[in-house]
Structure 1
Amino acid sequence: MRRRFPALVIAGALALALVGCSANTEAAGPASDTITIVDHTGNEVAIPADIQRVAIDEIPLASTYVAYQEGSAPYLVGMSDAVVRSLEDTVVADIAPEILDVDSGYYDNGELNVESLLNLDPDVVFYNANNTGHAELFAAAGIPAVGFSTSGDPTTVYQDWLRLLEDVFQEPGKMDEVIARGTEMIDAAAARTEGLADDAEQSVLIIFNYSSGTLRVAGETPFFGYYWLETINADNAAVGAQGGLAAVTAEQVLAWDPDVILIGGSGQAGITPEQMLSNTVDGLDLSALRAVQEGRVFSNDLGMWSWFTPNPDAPLIADWLGKVLYPSRFDDVDLIAETRDYYQDVYGVELSRDQADSIYQGLFADE
């Protein structure tokens, strides 16, 4: 049976950086106007001690930010237009509608305009730690910038983001219960799939996006989809596909013939299970696949964010994957009740049963 690799082994460098992040947060003094933290680039960053204005550049941090702020989006003054538009279809927009009203004008045709960002007078900007180009622009403009890593296992990356937010806002331990709960839920889901015979492990193809005739799937390179399949003990059907987001042909998919197809969150994937099952996807005929013929094509409407990328819904994603891939091992999991309870405790929002059910596109309505 294929061995699963612990997240701390796979993303060891990131974990070490985070240890440093927590251990090296230090105030410049009781009366200081700044503090110094270590972000996910490993660099020391001086930021205001009293943060009142936050901009988020490029990274899908907004839903985790709302989770950290217990169901609201205080201090947030700017995000890219693409992120704001994507948030319109998420539950986070219902939880914290003010997040849709932030300024998005500091991007011109998708390009960062630092002068426009300066007009927002941000105390700090949160950015993708991998984007060194933007980091240099922020430094040149004198804007304190904190890098958040988007690399590694999405079952823990959102936790890393929460910990770094603790450092930024000088609230050590604030997310202890949320992180402990999430870890317990994900570990419990993973434990349910241990001991599977090799021929019982499901062959799964994760489709992230279909656009302009190009199909992108979770390849064999460690990336978000890769880690999710490792967590739930499933085989990646995309054998030989290189890259975390691998461009593949219909002929390759037909040759792989997966047991199950999982499609990225509604609205962002450019393709739905209904279209695939009815063979109405323009330019893509996958009707010969066993997964299509047996109706084993699944997706979800957006919860807090697209579910295969880092976001604080991760503990629910683990059980959703378990229920669609190994239903007999998860038949006692009431995912609708679990989702309502999780949203109440973590985000401070009371979902109706219909709202919770809609996230799963009615898949568990009869349970």
Structure 2
Amino acid sequence: MIKLNKKIITLAVSVVILLTALTGCASGPAQSSAPQASGSQEANSQDGGASAQKAAERTVVDHAGNTVVIPADINRVVISSIMPLPSVFCLFEGASDKLVGMDPSSMAAAKNSILPKIYPEVLNVSTDFIKDGSLNIEELMKLKPDVVLYSADNTADYEVLSKAGIPAVAFSTSKFKFDTVKTFDNWVSLMGEIFGQQETAKQIASYGYEVKDEITKTIEKAGDSLKRPRALILFRYDNGSIKTSGSNFFGQYWLDTTGAENVAKDLKGMAEINMEQIYQWDPEIIFITNFTPYQPEDLYENSINGFDWSRVKAVQDKKVYKFPLGMYRWFPPASDTPLSIKWLATKNQPELFKDLDMDKEIREYYKKFYSYDLSDEQVEQIFHPSSEASGLKK
């Protein structure tokens, strides 16, 4: 958590306490020893009650366009159907003690990430409210959430939560045109509104833009002579099916921003592909996300039954890379998003960014934003995440 915001947070808490005290004082006249309250006194009492109610609530407009009334004091948070958000929440809060529920997929990533090294209590967060991929309202109610944060694209969650009368705030992955940095910014900004800490949000989000500008300016200076390698992202690869990241998904933004050409740019979203298509593209670089259990070695050793990777240039040249996993998987927006940009730039344009020391960058980022000193083993863990982090089996 950024240390600069501590005074701001302390001031905000003090203001809330002061307002609460003032509200308590305002209710004094209604408890006067006068034998009978006049109509004016009754009106003042009602106004005081309305003011107290208003002070105990906050209103936000979420990414689905819904106006949501939430408690001003939030102590129990459940995050459903938007997998990267627990890491962003912990970054924002500088703690995980308010988080009482998360999706099983988020937990699979957490157990194999650095997240519990910094916030060990996150491993105690419940996942029982998700049954067979769907929200189970009975189990959710047991968690007594003050608010539920969910994916704006998940209308099923919205309907269930609305009927149950649970304050629910939608976070979108698609509203910001899959611009990863902008999406991260808007997630953090919405958290700032929810928790009344807008300045904290600005401090966190601004660094992502700084990094993006730094990388894009370096690439732009190279001019038309810049060679963009043909890159393929294996977004989801399991059970004999391969899905890549087309033009309307985060992969396109990553590759455009960091100096590569997306071989799947003519496809949309999470598009299913086959080996014949991959042979035609013959990518020079392959990136494997942590939503699939496969590792670069599986392609190098050609050990995946029914798939011959030996003919692909990226495999022949040993340029297959597994996305790192720090606080969360680095492919979607998450709390380590600025690091994702830098890492991809070093892989796509190694000559341009030969002076970018990712080992150093990761250590400094974790020190600045999480107040945490990574060990050598933990840095290696980030660069070489386990297959179990996908939550799937090979």
Shorter-chain TM-score above 0.5: yes
User: In the alignment, is the contact (CA less than 8 A) between 1:209 and 1:271 conserved in 2?
Assistant: no
The alignment covers a number of residue pairs equal to 330
Give the whole-Å Cα distance in 2 for the aligned partners of 1:331 and 1:274.
25
Q: CA deviation at 1:45?
A: 0.5
The gaps in structure 1 that reach 5 residues or longer are 1-27, 363-367
TM-score for both structures, normalised by structure 1: 0.86
**Counterpart of 1:154?**
180
Map of 1:188 onto structure 2: 214
Distance in 1, matches of 2:81 and 2:89, equals 14
CA displacement 1:39-91 (0-9 Å, x = unmatched): 11122100001111111111121110111012x21211112223222321111
Determine the C-alpha separation between the residues in 2 that align with 1:204 and 1:218.
11
SS of 2:122 mapped into structure 1: helix
159, 184, 209: which is aligned to 1:136?
A: 159
Distance 1:249 1:199 in 2: 30
For residue 18 of structure 2, what is the aligned residue in structure 1?
Answer: none
TM-score of the pair, normalised by structure 2: 0.80
Map of 2:242 onto structure 1 = 215
Which residue of the other structure, out of 276, 286, 289, is the alignment partner of 1:251?
Answer: 276
What are the superposed Cα offsets for residues 307-333 of structure 1, whole Å, 9 maximum, x if unpaired? 111102111111111111111100111
CA contact 2:114–2:378 (8 Å) conserved in 1: no
Q: Specify the code of the residue in structure 2 equivalent to 1:257.
A: D
* Inter-CA distance 239–223: structure 2 relative to 1 (3 Å threshold): closer
Q: Conserved in 2, the CA contact under 8 Å of 1:344 and 1:350?
A: yes
Contact 2:102 2:127 in 1 (8 A): yes
Report the counterpart of residue 263 of structure 1 in structure 2: 288
SS in 2 for 1:280: coil
Give the structure 1 partner of residue 137 of structure 2.
114
Q: 1:161 to 1:294 in 2, by over 3 A?
A: same
Whether contact under 8 Å (1:125, 1:146) holds in the other structure is yes
Q: Deviations over 1:82-115 (max 9, x none)?
A: 3222321111122212112112211222221112
Larger radius of gyration between Structure 1 and Structure 2: 2
Q: Which has the higher helix share?
A: 2
Report what 1:69 is aligned to. Answer: 93
- Give, in angstroms, the shift of residue 354 of structure 1: 3.6
Q: Return the offset for 1:217.
A: 0.8
> Deviation string for 1:194-241 (max 9, x for gaps)?
234367111110111211100111123x1111111121132111254x
Q: Which residue of 1 aligns with 2:369?
A: 346
1:9 corresponds to: none
**Where does structure 2 lack aligned partners over 5 or more consecutive residues?**
1-49, 386-394
Give the partner amino acid of 2:179.
D
Structure 2 matches for 1:19-98, cutoff 5 A?
A: 29=51, 32-60=55-83, 61-70=85-94, 72-98=95-121
Return the letter of the residue paired with 2:315.
V
Where does residue 200 of structure 1 map in the other structure?
227
CA distance in 2, matches of 1:85, 1:292: 28
Q: CA deviation at 1:270?
A: 2.2
Q: Cα RMSD (Å) of the superposition?
A: 1.8
What is the letter of the counterpart of residue 286 of structure 1?
A: W
Check the 8 A contact 1:154/1:308 in 2, yes or no: no
Q: Deviations over 1:173-210 (max 9, x none)?
A: 11322222221112111222223436711111011121
Structure 2 vs 1, CA of residues 30 and 99 (structure 1 numbering), >3 Å: closer, same or farther? same
Provide the C-alpha distance between the structure 2 equivalents of 1:327 and 1:233, rounded to a whole number of angstroms.
10
Q: Where does residue 298 of structure 1 map in the other structure?
A: 321
1:278 to 275, 294, 301: 301
